Structure 1
Amino acid sequence: MDTEREQDVLRAASMYYLQDLKMEVIARHLGTSRSTVSRLIKRARETGLVEITLRPASTRAPGLGRSLAAAFGIDAYVVPVPDHASHIERLEQVSMTAARLLSSWFDSDMVLGVAWGTTLASVSRYLAPKPTRGSAVVQLNGAANMRTSGIDYASDLISSFGTAFGAGVHHFSVPAFFDFSDTKAAMWRERSVRRVLDMQRRADIALFSVGAVAGAVPSHVYSAGYLDEADVRVLHDEGVVGDVCTVFLRADGSWQDVPLNARATGPTPTELQRLPRRVCVVAGDNKVAPLLAALRAGVVTDLVVDEVTAGLLADSAEQATPRRTRAPRT
């Protein structure tokens, strides 16, 4: 099966099984006939791209997806999982779905921005090779910290995406957080740094998760030496619930006046909003608060989330979130 045909099969299967769209709608989106869509979906099952598992309990995934899409003006891909699924099982299912979706979206002559973290490392393990031409993968935030350089961790993660797509890789060799905002301002004037920043701004897709301050499984930025005790106290005093690309967010989605953000090296929500597709991948109960903050900050266009987390998010959103809309993609 040639590459173009593979992409049609993946797109049709994703829309049919993950977005719960009717074949007529998929046909209009792909510019083809309903019978062709039917054949594409059949092909997805025959090749193993889609595996169907029957579970006794009914799934809320399609309904949750529609509810989150309506509440936040996003495309939501809710991955069915049993209520008793472990955190690892939920993360694996979400990672597999995110990897497949990313392969359907990313193609030749495109730029993919990737933030490092535990969730994205999991996604990288499920990437199927898809050779592209003229494409690039760029690291979105620095990785060096107080205990280690952090470079090996981030480099291996970013490189795995480049290898999967046959893309050029652009590393961001700066700390996750500078000690002084003046140092960051000076570094941002360096040509080598500006080259990476320019590549980030050109990204067609940004791929990231959310970091959680609290929970049984702390996010990488909070457990691997990136923050000292004084930093943690500041986050607590500021009401921070988590981060996106190491930029900290309060529960209401505000971030501009959080002091540590002046020293952070990841793109701000304002900078992320300039990118056409921003894919957030999430699994875990402790991610609900930071995910809701990210949605309120308007940084997400596409959400890949497990069913249990989606249910908790929907319950939280009912209490307060105004509907956000986004400009159509061009």
Structure 2
Amino acid sequence: MKKTPSGGTYKRGVTGTSVHTTPKAKDALRAAQLYYLQDMKMEVIARELGTSRSTVSRLLTHAKRTGMVSISITPSANMSALLGNQLAEHYGVNFYVVPTDGSMDDSELLVRVSAHAAYLLGDIVSSSMTVGVAWGSTMQAVSAALSSHPTHDTKIVQLNGAANPVSSGVGYASDILTRFGQAFTARTEQFPVPAFFDRASTRDAMWQETSIQRVLKVQQEMNLAIFSLGSAGSTVISQVYRGGYLTKDETQELREMGVVGDVATVFFDKDGNSSSIALNSRSTGPTLDSLRKVPTRFCVVAGRGKLAAVRGALQGGLITDLVIDEGTALALLDG
């Protein structure tokens, strides 16, 4: 039994059926038995077989290719799986802990975690679903990693507006939405409003418009919401903090109010509460109360800079399924 790169273990079995009758097959079987079952080094096997180390390597490759060697993963021994189970038991949420190398920076973690999230979504998104998708750096990475999983009668709806004083945001959010739509052969519903209105009264008035109400109605039908958590402390700075969406005064105000993160530009504190945060009255994202009504709330997080946001979101019951890197998961478990 040997260690896998992710910290788990695997078992390898060697079959000794009578079909391996050629000299090469016999040598490959013998090399596999010595290497996998007796844990002998290649140099020692080479001396026993009277050949070179490189030939032993080729024999072992031949043994795996022809089915003499079988490899099976033991999930219960995998560190990430064990960690995920511990966190799931503690928080009552489905955890998908992504094995990561401790030397990775946050940009590399984002790519690894987003690819895993995209893979999982291939099984989660199905026909006749309504899927809400937020925008942001993580969602951009997830959308870029999606592969084709055709569905029927599925709708992808944008969760929050993307325009700000320096950019329309349409292209940015539209690219993410389009990738999701193409991956799942789904109809897309854009939300052509700003991320934040200048005044809460303006948002209230716009919410009465028939065109806006149509999109809001689609959002209310969501079976699945896909999002990350914005955080000012992340190394890969969240789009809402770097894209011209907030003034310096607004950012300072959020900090003073103890805001630890946001979901689709709706901010929350360490307890997952949002009601006392004035900026939320101007946000175009779904209220956290309405988000909690969505059956599956699939969150993707990479990097310890989002640890406080993760804790707040879990405390507030905003997540049902969380994809997270191993390092941040460990820190979360440590409290």
TM-score higher than 0.5: yes
Structure with more contact order per residue of length (Cα contacts < 8 Å, sep ≥ 6):
1
From the superposition, tell whether residues 291 and 113 of structure 1 become closer, same or farther in structure 2 (CA, over 3 Å): same
* Deviations 1:251-309, CA, capped at 9 Å, x for gaps: 12111110001111111211111111000000011010111111111010000011011
Query: Which of residues 215, 223, 248 in structure 2 aligns to 1:196?
Result: 215
- Per the alignment, residue 206 of structure 1 pairs with 225
Equivalent residue for 1:246? 265
CA distance in 1 between counterparts of 2:225 and 2:324 reads 16
Q: Aligned runs of 1:256-295 on 2, under 5 Å?
A: 256-295=275-314
- Give the corresponding residue for 2:142: 123
Shift in Å, 1:53: 12
Structure-1 residue corresponding to 2:329? 310
CA RMSD of aligned residues (A): 1.9
**Does residue 1:222 correspond to 2:245, yes or no?**
no
Q: Is 1:63–2:82 an aligned residue pair?
A: yes
Q: Is the 1:269–1:298 Cα contact (8 Å) retained in structure 2?
A: no
Q: What's the secondary structure of 2:165's corresponding residue?
A: coil
Aligned AA (1:251): K
Structure-2 change in CA distance of 1:140 and 1:164 (3 Å): same
In the aligned structure 1, how far is the partner of 2:138 from the partner of 2:265? 14
Query: Does the C-alpha gap of structure 1 residues 184 and 89 become closer, same or farther in structure 2, counting only changes over 3 Å?
Result: same
Give 5+ residue unaligned stretches, structure 2.
1-5, 7-64, 66-70
Instruction: Please report how far the alpha carbon of residue 202 of structure 1 lies from its aligned counterpart in structure 2 after TM superposition.
Output: 0.6
Q: Counterpart of 1:216 in 2: which secondary structure?
A: coil
Per the TM alignment, residue 162 of structure 1 is displaced from its structure 2 partner at its CA by: 0.4
SS at match of 1:200: helix
Aligned residue for 1:160, secondary structure, equals helix
- Determine what percentage of the aligned residue pairs are the same residue: 45
* 2:318 corresponds to: 299
Whether the 8 Å CA contact 1:243–1:290 is kept in 2: the answer is: yes
Match of 1:75 in 2: 94
**2:179: which partner in 1?**
160
Does the alignment pair 1:89 with 2:108? yes
Task: Name the CA distance, whole Å, in 1 between partners of 2:230 and 2:78.
Answer: 27
* 2:290 maps to amino acid: E
Contact 1:205 1:275 in 2 (8 A): yes
Letter in 2 for 1:97: H
TM-score, L = length of structure 1:
0.77
Question: Given that residues 59 and 80 in structure 1 are in contact (C-alpha distance below 8 angstroms), is that contact kept between their aligned partners in structure 2?
Answer: no
8 Å contact kept, 2:135–2:176: yes
When the two structures are aligned, how many residues end up with a matched partner?
264
User: Is the CA contact (8 Å cut-off) linking 1:141 and 1:245 kept in structure 2?
Assistant: yes
Equivalent-residue separation in structure 2 for 1:291 and 1:263 (angstroms): 23
* 1:212 alignment partner, SS class: coil
* Equivalent residue number for residue 195 of structure 2: 176
Q: Are residues 1:111 and 2:130 paired? A: yes
Letter in 1 for 2:323: V
The SS at the match of 1:249 is strand
* Per-residue deviation, 1:88: 2.2
Find runs of 4+ consecutive structure 1 residues off by over 2 angstroms: none
Cα distance in 2 for partners of 1:103, 1:93 equals: 16
CA deviation vs aligned residue, 1:18-48 (integer Å, no higher than 9, x gap): xxxxxxxxxxxxxxxxxxxxxxxxxxxx9xx
Q: Which residue of 2 aligns with 1:327?
A: none
User: Are 1:234 and 2:253 counterparts?
Assistant: yes
Give the drift of 1:59: 5.8
Helix, strand or coil at the partner of 1:78: strand
The answer as to whether partners of 2:97 and 2:329 remain within 8 angstroms in 1 is yes
Q: How does 1:43-54 map to 2 (within 5 A)?
A: none
Question: Residue type matched to 1:258 in 2?
Answer: I
